[in-house]
Amino acid sequence: MRGSIAVRGAKNAVIKSMAASLLFADELVLENVPHIEDLDTFDELLKKLGASVLVEGGTCTINTSGVTKTELDDTLARRLRASMVATGPLLARFGRTVFPHPGGDVIGPRPINFFLDGFSKMGATVRHEGGHYIVETKGRKLKGAEIFFTFISVTGTETLMMAAILAEGTTVLRNAAMEPEIVELANFLNKCGAKITGAGSPNITIEGGELLQANGYIERTVPDRIEAGSFLLLGALAAEELEITDCNPAHLEMLIELLRESGVEIDTTASAITMRKVDTKQFHPLQVRTHEYPGFATDMQPPMVVYLTQVTGVSSVFETIWGGRLAYTKDLERMGAKINLLNPQQIKIEGPTPLVAAELESPDIRAGLAFLMAAAIAKGTSTVGNIYHIDRGYERIEERLQKIGLNIKREAV
């Protein structure tokens, strides 16, 4: 494998921008939008509410002036965990939202108490009836409040930050998440009339106001740092030389430093990362602990585990975010990996171990891509099923990997 591969817009950023369209009085245009299943689902979710959504190429145009419904479609909301971010803007604009418990990947329970507690502190009443949460405000306006997250939550931070934009008074979010996507969302909303300060720090302050106005502003989605990091790990395993373009290396400092510590040769510019082949047997083991940004991202944990099966020595991984996220390692063991599950959240990995082909089923977005990586270095031909999960997060992945020399094809169903 060698060549250049470009990174698409961040799934975890564009979904939040689409949800933010519910706060706008006029049309909103988003660029650098990836063509993936999760965005198709959120597109349909907005349409079910009454929004007009047009996707052409990498551009998405949304007008929510026709929205009349405040209840999220059951099927779509249960399919997509990120559907929760729509509840904050809906509640702020219409004084009411109804939704089921969100779905998504099977990697652990989805606590939503911080959403509900936040809405309550902002003056809303919360009821749970017939499998649905019904959240309403008196007088249709939320009230500013001080909200402390006892569990750092990216979607919780984004949802309550957006809800506070139309609230009366000042809202302060403490122990907030600090991911780059939150900073980008705040910057974008500020350009359209919001008053948000502190994004990227543990304390975010929002001054409530009126509906936002794009006034022709076009929001360009930031590069997907999880995709960029996954490509970097794949390159370290299987490429002679690989350039990853249209990315932001500053968003990947933890991964880049860990790989350099392990022995991978990496060069960076403002918008690209280049790695060159080193004998994987010379790579050093790592002790990896997932953590909220700027720590090591939980979404890059499965690709990192595949990488660690090929380094010399004993590595360890401690998954601190999702309780069920290491279940996929049983399939890597079937391929020959030496992985010892110490408990549901900790593993030790002994390497290097040659992997052999296997028939695999994608359990979630990130483990699905990790299986593709494992198949790329395994002896023989592997098949990866349930690729819907991979399509949820990665645009036309097989076509892009083919261009850098990976022997991969999609079989017609």
C-alpha torsion sign, points 264, 391, 34, 62: negative
Distances (CA, A) of 235 to 229, 264, 265, 332, 380: 10, 10, 11, 19, 19
User: Is 41 in the same domain as 188?
Assistant: yes
User: Is 153 in the same domain as 265?
Assistant: no
- Which domain range does residue 108 map to? 8-206
**What share of the chain has pLDDT > 90, as a percent?**
91
Is 280 a member of any domain?
Answer: yes
Is 215 a member of any domain?
Answer: no
User: Is 89 in the same domain as 44?
Assistant: yes
User: Is 186 in the same domain as 86?
Assistant: yes
Distances (CA, A) of 336 to 74, 313, 332, 378: 41, 16, 7, 9
pLDDT at 103: 61
> Which CATH number do you get for residue 249?
3.65.10.10
User: Is 157 in the same domain as 245?
Assistant: no
Burial (CB count within 10 angstroms: exposed 0-12, middle 13-18, buried 19+), residue 151: exposed
Is 213 a member of any domain?
Answer: no
Per-residue DSSP letter, 325: T
CA distance 326 to 318: 9
Is 114 a residue whose pLDDT tops 70?
yes
* Residues 341-400: tens digit of each pLDDT: 999 999 999 999 999 999 999 999 999 999 999 999 999 999 999 999 999 999 999 999
Is 212 a member of any domain?
Answer: no
Mean pLDDT of 128-146: 92
